[in-house]
Structure formats: structure tokens, C-alpha cells
Amino acid sequence: MSVDPAPTNGEMNAAAHLLPVRVYYEDTDAGGIVYHANYLRYAERARTEMLRMAGIDMNQLRDEHGLIFVLYKGEVLYHRPARFNDRLLVVSEMTELSGATVVIDQAIWRMDDNGARDYQAAKFTAHVACMQESGRAGRFPKDLRARMESLIRQPVAPTATGPSHATRIG
């Protein structure tokens, strides 16, 4: 009997962050299907780990700059259900960055027994703002912004077959 290793904080693959997640019984409804709100939990966990791997310490951001990240808009599409004991992969990519906001696209994939992507269970787009703890808008500090810029998904070079478009992992 083989045992899967424990989930990690994920890994960076180019500008994408990949986080493996196992579906536990507590994540499901009575039919063994992942409860819809838990996809949002998986996405939140992946965003946090992506920022951590980029060297962005949320406690330090709050303590030294008085800034926090706030999800102000989220868009979710549920494609196919994940089930108890499935292995999932959350793929997170920053797609837009301004002085105080960032957009992160996240695809949640069900993985097959060979570790390949089987199907996309859900897609989430997170719109996150930098805020002062008082609730007023804040701006990303320069060093933080520079680290985040390195994570922005880069466009694909134009080809003879058509215009350039954003690289998609998902």
C-alpha cells in the first residue's frame, strides 16, 4: 500500500504557483461532493502560499506598514465536482497589478491516479486590494510591488497564426 506524501506549501512553476490539495471527508457534503465554499478555501490557501513563496510576509506587511490584503471581489465558475479523497491542484497566476490592487486567476484541477490533470473542477478570479488596517485604501510598498511584478503572467510572443495572448495554465 502506497501512501501519498503530505501536502506542501506548493511550488512555483514560472509565474504560476501550484498547490496540491487532498479532499477530506470534512470538505464534502453528504453525497461525498466538495461543498461549494470549500473551493474558495482552497483558493485562499493557494494565494497565501504563493505570496509566502514570493517572500511576502503578511505579518511583516501588517506590522511594519500597517497594511493588509482584502478580497473585494471574487468570481467563481464551478465546472465539475470534486469528490472525497480526490487529489486537486490549485494553479494560481497574478494577471494584473496596479498601485493598490492585484488580480489572481486560479484554476482548481482534479488530478488522475498518474498525477496528470484530469478536469478543471472550478475557476476563481480574486480581486485583492491593499488596505490600511483602518479600512482606508493603501498602496503596495515598492519592494513588495517589485516582488509581485515578477509573478505577473507574461504574454506570449505573437506568431504568424494570430495575435499574442496571455499564457494559460488551466
CA distance 116 to 156: 24
CA 92, distance to chain mean position in Å, is 3
Catalytic residue among 27, 29, 86, 143: 29
Distance of CA 19 to the CA centre of its chain: 8
Which triple of cell numbers denotes residue 166?
A: 496571455
Strands 67-78 and 16-22: unpaired
Q: How far is CA 101 from CA 15, 95, 139, 163, in A?
A: 18, 11, 8, 27
The cell numbers describing 117, all together, are 490533470
Q: Are 9 and 20 in contact (CB under 8 A)?
A: no
Distance CA 158, CA 145 (A): 27
How far apart, in whole angstroms, are the C-alpha atoms of residue 95 and residue 159? Answer: 21
Q: Tell me if residue 29 is catalytic.
A: yes
Q: Which residues are catalytic?
A: 29
